[in-house]
Chain A
Amino acid sequence: MTVQHDDLASLEAGLDALETSVVTGPSRGHRLWSATWPPLVFVALLVVAWQLVYNARVVEPYRLPSPGETLTALQDQWQSGDLGEAVWNSVSRGGLGFIASLLLGTVLGLVVGRVKPVRRAVGPILSGLQSLPSVAWVPAAILWFGTNSATIYFVVLLGAVPSIANGMISGLDQVPPLFMRVGRVLGARGLASARHVLLPAALPGYVGGLRQGWAFSWRSLMAAELVARTPELGLGVGQLLDLSRQNADIAGVIAGVFTILVIGIAIELCLFAPLERTVLRRRGLLASSL
């Protein structure tokens, strides 16, 4: 018997080795580099093209600044302290608004996703809300709350909560029924089942929703800041941008647009993209994970 079992053990070891492919991907540094240089080259080309258009004087200089002038405007904004203050104000508002949306959206998503009557009543409206630009609420919010932080947060919440809730709902919908059955066979009921099976299984959809939720909070915040401008609100990136417009400072306007874009991209790249990658890679849902 033992001889036979050793036989089986070695057979099995051979089979396991044959069927487990060991593909070592490129190193982390290499991957980072190969993901970075193509967009950098593209941006460089865009800047060159921009400079050429500027040189050709196709557009009057007061409508189109040169890349150099835009950079100078950015430097000026920085040196006056306006840029630093505006970035800090906007990012902290955006972050706070996002965290509040996260809490609300998660709870709302769980309730709508798991309680059938609520799902039927609220579900369609929640997905409909996603297509309503939350900046449409700014006039109403100003009339309700006045031109203050409440208005800004209200608009940010209405932008981000539906995305996060819908992400949670679609995450819950994607949980394979077999997982729930396995959970029951293993003895998971109620809260234990939610904690050990349902929520981890719903995570990929939820993280996708968070990512989209952030994009919506940032957009809504900028829209609100552009419209709502009073001294008591202080200076945000959106207000700074509108200030440049009032001064007919086209270089400052373009600099403002870049600031908004770069902050959005930076938070996406540093926070949400890695979070999503980690969740997907662990589950073998990314091609590069092999």
Chain B
Amino acid sequence: MQVVEAGPAVAVRGLTKRFGSGPNVLEDVSLDVAEGEFLCILGASGCGKSTLLSLIADLDQPTSGSVEVLGGKPSLMFQEPALFPWLTAEENVQLALRLKGVSKAARRERAAELLALVRLKDAGKKRVHELSGGMRQRVAMARALAQDSHVLLMDEPFAALDAITRDVLHEELVRIRESQKLTVLFVTHNVREAVRLGDRVVLLSSRPGRVVKEYAVEIDQPRRIESPQVASLSVAITEDLRTEIRRHGGQS
């Protein structure tokens, strides 16, 4: 568990979102993410996980409620790496710096540092299509880190990867988060992934998305996804998640 410091890094207050005249996608969601905390948001389809991140990233406006992010703009990673195919790996990272107004020489240096951090020192000149899925997602991570924001939002970033690669990237993320002292808000529908990574797991209900329950994950890092501690907490959370899902079948 991280020590909770003064103000939260992300403060979500009474957030409600609906699109047009549709039903509420999110309803009265309130969350605090402490500085340096790794918070996983867990939920089935339709719980508005991605909408929540879009609102926090200021890509969309809430119907009501407020979002505050320490240090301004958070960085955001998607399920797809969404690297620009007309640029090389290092140019993708440099673009993030360029849009922040970093000078050319400093851009080069910083991009090389970040690629080294995600262990892609020698892949900088490669084009996106020459990289594997895992490597692309690491370049995307380097690009997100280039924004130099306190808070990293991640929208199921590993969902499209194979299990072995995902496992390695979990380890990689935990290492980078520690070395960069990041606050991470990580959205997933994978219970074990949430327990593997998070200091805390928040379970959202579906349609509308509401905070149902919170779990503190008191397991020391480095954790392994197949460890018994991760498994036993995952079983408990999965039970609650299933109960949540059953409500929508109209039989409970």
A interface vs B, CB < 8 Å?
4-5, 8-9, 11-13, 15-16, 19-20, 176, 178-179, 181-182, 184-188, 192, 196-197, 200-201, 203, 282-285, 289
Which of A11, A16, A19 is packed against the most chain B CB atoms within 10 Å?
A16
Interface membership of B111, Cβ < 8 A? no
Chain A residues closer than 8 Å to B127, beta-carbon distance: 282-284
Binding site for A on B (CB under 8 A): 57, 59, 73, 75-76, 78, 80, 82, 84-87, 95-96, 98-100, 119, 123, 127-135, 143, 147, 164-165, 168, 171-172, 175, 222
Is the pair A188, B84 in contact by a Cβ cutoff of 8 Å? no
Query: Do the beta carbons of A200 and B129 come within 8 Å of each other?
Result: no
Residues in chain A near residue B133, CB distance under 8 A:
19
Q: Which of A12, A179, A186, A285 is close to B96, meaning CB atoms less than 8 Å apart? A: A186
Q: Distance in Å from the Cβ of A255 to the closest Cβ of chain B?
A: 44
Query: Which residue in A11, A176, A179 is a CB contact (below 8 Å) of B168?
Result: A11
B100 touches A283 (CB 8 A): no
Q: Give A32 to B13 CA distance when docked, in angstroms.
A: 64
Residues on A with C-beta less than 8 A from B78 are 178, 181-182
What's the count of A-B pairs with C-beta under 8 Å?
85
Known: A12-B168, A179-B82. A186 touches B59 (CB 8 A): no
Distance of A4 Cα from B123 Cα, bound (Å) = 23
Give, as a whole number of angstroms, the nearest-CB distance from B242 to chain A. 32
Q: Which of A15, A192, A282 contacts B86 (CB 8 A)?
A: A282
Q: Do A178 and B132 contact each other (CB < 8 Å), given the known contacts A185-B75, A192-B99?
A: no
**Judging by beta carbons under 8 Å apart, are A196 and B95 in contact?**
yes
Q: Which of B123, B130, B131, B175 contacts A8 (CB under 8 A)? A: B175
Q: Which residues of B contact A192 (CB under 8 A)?
A: 99
Q: Which of A182, A197, A284 contacts B129 (CB 8 A)?
A: A284
Tell me the complex Cα distance, A16–B168, Å: 11
B132 to chain A, nearest CB (A): 3
- Given A9-B119, A179-B84, A289-B129, answer yes or no on A184-B59 (Cβ-Cβ < 8 Å): yes
Q: Is the CB of A13 within 8 A of B119?
A: yes
Q: Which residues of B contact A20 (CB under 8 A)?
A: 130-132, 135
User: Across the interface, which residues of B come within 8 angstroms of A284, CB to CB?
Assistant: 85, 127-130
A186: chain B residues at CB < 8 Å are 95-96, 99, 143, 147
A179 to B143, CA, bound (A): 14
Give 9 A-B contacts (CB < 8 Å), ordered by A residue: A12-B168, A19-B133, A20-B131, A184-B59, A200-B86, A201-B86, A282-B86, A284-B85, A284-B127
A176 → chain B closest CB, angstroms: 8
Q: Which residues of B contact A178 (CB under 8 A)?
A: 78, 80, 82
- Which residues of chain B are within 8 angstroms of A182 by Cβ–Cβ distance? 78, 82, 84
A200 to chain B, nearest CB (A): 5
For A289, the chain B residues whose CB sits under 8 A away are 129
Which residues of chain B are within 8 angstroms of A282 by Cβ–Cβ distance?
Answer: 85-86, 127
Residues of A within 8 A of B82 (CB): 176, 178-179, 181-182
- Contact A203 B171, beta carbon cutoff 8 Å: no
Tell me if A15 and B99 are in contact (CB < 8 A): no
Within 8 Å CB of B168, what residues of A? Answer: 8, 11-12, 15
